[in-house]
Structure 1
């Protein structure tokens, strides 16, 4: 199996690369400078030259608040980029793996979102990711479209878990919202599940995330408990923080039919967070 991986500097791509190496898969990885996915001709050239079995797109515009103003860039990277990759995959007879987000939902439900639920994003970031989904589904014959939520890991990107650790190192009191609920997804586990899913040939739409939900406050509380932080953590409401983008209050996703397809669901977010803290400590 040969993989072409985009966005190679990101936290998820780094884990996909590590997992590919464990399995002794052949791969080629491109960062943004080596392959800008919004350039159709360069995408076509890369896929044609490398002849992968699968293209795994880890390139994304993830600046949720910035996307409200810089929406054109978000739409290019999260919408047109996947479109270009889907076109190139079809032209070269390879399958396509693309990641989307729980932010395609509006958060109005009080039960977990399934792959059958209608999308209705609240912000430009979510709309840009939904655009990418639509292009992948309309242009690709063989694709895995994987929605994820609250991805965290030790890679380059500034995710919520790393932000909490940074805030705690500089402050004695923290306020974290308790009215945004979803499920943390550990990049290490997401990469493994992705490659296990790829092997099945069971193409389609999937939710890959922890089977347990939590609020950002609960998650932060657990992170800080594991680190032995002695400060004061206070719950807050979303309206207390002025952000450019509106977030869904409830975007927990049901992973059905993932277990029926690869034989397991991801581990719970607490255990995943424990492993993340161990990984952080091992890098010090």
Structure 2
């Protein structure tokens, strides 16, 4: 029976992955920072812990969903962000090679500076402008350096079972008649369910390498919010504001990419697999809610 080790199993993507595989004969080794029922505590920044667990369990696949994703906090916590986002993937990759496991690592659109004019492909040069983006890029490089068989998936604007933009908007709709949302940051909302499906697909292949993994299409945060309210039947006005205007209302410490639309170029060229359109994926997610 195939054994899959998942880090960050209690996060949005970790939960989606477990659900994606629920009808298959799979042994899951679920790990997260805190031990719980059915979950092993694992500090991915500790090479000894990682090697001990992976040598003991000998998984066939390692899926790394663990990350320090608080973009603003990463600016103030560089060492912690580097340990989780870079050293962690390095440790997992070294261990994966030790037991000949496939390594699947989830990365981000933040590896790009975000001033592009057309969707970024896997061959465009990364140039992160935030601590989060810089540490995630280092994580990618460590995976490429130390894992023998790897898939790196860059995703963006992820939402699923957990804290996310969709739920924030729905919560605000309970107490607000109008909200102000940024309209000059472009990207693609991506469902954790859709990303889990792509991971499941790739995991069963030998199509190794770097992939962009977002839902199809693109939008901005304000239009995304409007679509959420429309699907939820909420009569909430969305005020379109610039990033500069929003920063004056809600000071933040990290630079965010203005343009982070990713092109799933490698997926399109090397397979027939296609991720869902962002509006269709959002509709499916809202029905589940």
Task: Tell me how far 1:264 sits from its aligned partner.
Answer: 2.1
Quote the offset at 1:262 in angstroms.
4.2
Q: TM-score, normalised by structure 2?
A: 0.94
For 2:151, the equivalent position in structure 1 comes to: 144
Match of 1:114 in 2: 121
d(CA) in 1 for partners of 2:271 and 2:14? Answer: 21
> Displacement, 1:190?
0.7
Aligned partners of 2:100 and 2:148 also within 8 Å: no
1:222 matched to 2:227? yes
Looking at structure 2, the residues matched to 259 and 24 of structure 1 have their Cα atoms a distance apart, in angstroms, of 29
Measure, in 2, the Cα distance between the counterparts of 1:228 and 1:20: 32
Contact persistence 1:97–1:143 (CA under 8 A): yes
Match of 1:164 among 166, 169, 172: 169
How far apart, in 1, do the equivalents of 2:143 and 2:114 lie?
A: 24
Q: Does 1:9 align with 2:10?
A: yes
Aligned to 2:287: 278
Q: Are 1:209 and 2:214 counterparts?
A: yes
Q: Determine the structure 2 residue equivalent to 1:41.
A: 48
Mapped contact 1:177–1:238 kept (Cα < 8 A): yes
Q: Is the 8 A contact 2:194 2:215 kept in 1?
A: no
Counterpart CA distance in 2 for 1:122 and 1:78 is 15
2:37 maps to which residue? none
Which deviates further from its counterpart, 22-31 or 234-243? 22-31
Shift of 1:53: 0.7
CA drift at 1:228: 1.5
Per-residue deviation at 1:162? 1.5
Separation in structure 2 between the aligned mates of residue 152 and residue 22 of structure 1, nearest angstrom: 23
Q: Deviations over 1:217-272 (max 9, x none)?
A: 11111001111111221100001122111101001000012134442211111111
Gaps of 5+ in 2: 35-40
- Contact conserved, 1:197 with 1:261, CA < 8 A, in 2? no
Higher deviation after alignment, 246-255 or 236-245 = 236-245
Counterpart mapping for 1:83-122 below 5 A: 83-122=90-129
Tell me which residue corresponds to 1:250.
Answer: 259
Q: Is the 8 A contact 2:109 2:154 kept in 1?
A: yes
TM-score, normalised to structure 1, is: 0.95
Q: Which residue is 1:259 aligned to?
A: 268
The answer on whether the counterparts of 2:216 and 2:276 sit within 8 Å (CA) in structure 1 is: yes
Q: Cα distance, 1:214 vs. partner?
A: 0.5
- Residues 174-225 of structure 1 deviation map (CA, whole Å, 9 limit, x = unaligned): 0000000010110111101101111111110001111201101111110011
Give the SS at the match of 2:13. Answer: helix
Structure 1 counterpart SS, 2:174: helix
